[in-house]
A and B are shown apart, each in its own frame.
Chain A
Amino acid sequence: MNAPVAAPHLPLRVRAAMLLRLFAIQGVWNYETMVGNGIAFALEPALRRLPGGHTGDRFRAAMARHSGYFNAHPYLASVAVGALARAELDGVPDAQIERFRVAAPGPLGSVGDRLVWAGWVPFSSAVALLAFGLGMSPAGVVLVFLGTYNVLHLGLRIWGLHAGWTRGLGVASALANPVLRQGPAHVARATALIAGVALPVAADGIIGSGRAVLGGVLAAVAAGAVMVTLLHGRIEGWRVATFALAAFVLYAMVR
């Protein structure tokens, strides 16, 4: 991979259009092409700038190429979209672009899964649970969850598109960002800390001073312990924890 050179100018409206389209990247998700159609849809505003415009042969060939199979984390797919847009407009050979399309999805999926699904979702849930335990209203708890979650979600999409466009097919160096490399471990520790504080605080909020539902809580804990034992080794712990936290908050909101 050649050393990165300064990125050419890409008008703000084109970048904005690509960013907006990234939110629909899973719109036609399917087992055959995964997010391939979404990748082509997000790239399309940039590909219109290829020689010949949107009726030219290069545009058609690029759209066909990028509509094929592509499987990556939906948020970090923005990195690939930026890099592929840059490669297409720089006239990088088709074979090299195709090689990147094969190599990039796996690492982008791996980084996204560790950081978002296994890290940030449980973290956001724990923060929301803590907000509930501290007495926040149900609507406030939902807003805290959505706000916390979307800080990273939106940040990744915006950063990814910029990093991909700036570095082109040499975008691997951007994935060495400490947030992506060390972030999941720090997020996991923070989640454990916040959940450790939030669970007893929230439980106290549900049980209340009269201890009217103490029996129900103890029964739920026992049932949960049995479920975790039965599911041990058959389901990932973070899925159980996220489901339990979500059920906890929903119960508190509808009771």
Chain B
Amino acid sequence: MTLEIFRIDDRLVHGQVVVGWGQPCSLGFLVLVDDEVARSEWEKELYRMGVPPEMEIVFDSVESAVARLAGYRADARAGMLLTGDIDTMARLVAAAPDIRTVTVGGVHHKPGRVPRSRYVFLTPAEEARLLELAAGGVTVVAQDVPQAAATPLEVMLRGEGPT
């Protein structure tokens, strides 16, 4: 067990993460990477209340996450790293190139975004960012829960992902 799942999800900590992934994968810890949340005590308190007592949650900026990544990987427990947007994950991957797989778990509707699946809506700039990640050798898939099949990036961008 180690930190194996690198997930982009604009909801960060929520039911799919804690119940959907947490129970079948026996997640012992979550690493929430967000520069703004890392500076905000009330937001950290809110997210702490979203995880069960037996699950640890730690908060990092991109910079501190890169510094601690080796420690997270050495953890005996199963863990998941979460970012709330594609840009944050891309910055993390750029600084920690040993991240080989990124899962898009939920990027929801906002003005300017186009639906690519029922839980992934992307702007052209966000699509380009994901393609950059893939071009750099990272496997990018869309998968909301572990029971669902992982949809490859190119399939998702054709709009042929889960609907």
Interface residues of A (CB under 8 A from B): 1, 31-34, 69, 71, 73, 99, 102-114, 117-118, 169-170, 172-173, 175-176, 180-182, 184-185, 233-236
Contacts and interface: CB of A to CB of B under 8 A. Distances in A.
Contact of A107 (B14, B16, B54): B14
Nearest to A105: B11
Contacts of A102: 10
B23 A236 contact: yes
Given A31-B118, A73-B15, A103 B52 contact: no
B46 A103 contact: yes
A233 B53 CA distance: 24
B110 interface: yes
A105 B45 CA distance: 14
B15 A69 contact: no
B42 A236 contact: no
Given A31-B119, A233-B24, A175 B19 contact: no
B43 interface: yes
A91 B126 CA distance: 34
A169 B42 contact: yes
Contacts of B48: 172
B41 interface: yes
Given A175-B49, A236-B24, A71 B42 contact: no
Interface in B73-106: none
B37 interface: yes
Given A109-B14, A117-B19, A172 B49 contact: yes
B50 interface: yes
Nearest first, the 4 A-B pairs at minimum CB distance are A107-B50, A113-B15, A1-B42, A175-B49
A71 B50 contact: no
A235 B147 contact: yes
A176 B49 contact: yes
B100 to A, nearest CB: 22
Interface of B: 10-20, 23-24, 36-37, 40-43, 45-54, 108-110, 115, 118-119, 121, 146-147
7 contacts: A69-B109, A69-B110, A106-B12, A106-B50, A172-B46, A233-B24, A236-B24
Given A172-B49, A236-B147, A114 B18 contact: yes
Most buried by A among B15, B40, B45: B15
Nearest to B45: A172
Contacts of B46: 103-104, 107, 172, 175
A33 B110 CA distance: 9
Contacts of A233: 24, 146
A182 B54 CA distance: 10
A103 B19 contact: no
A118 B108 contact: no
A87 to B, nearest CB: 12
Nearest to A180: B49
A111 B24 contact: no
B109 A110 contact: no
Residue in A69, A108, A110, A182 with the greatest tally of chain B CB atoms within 10 Å:
A110
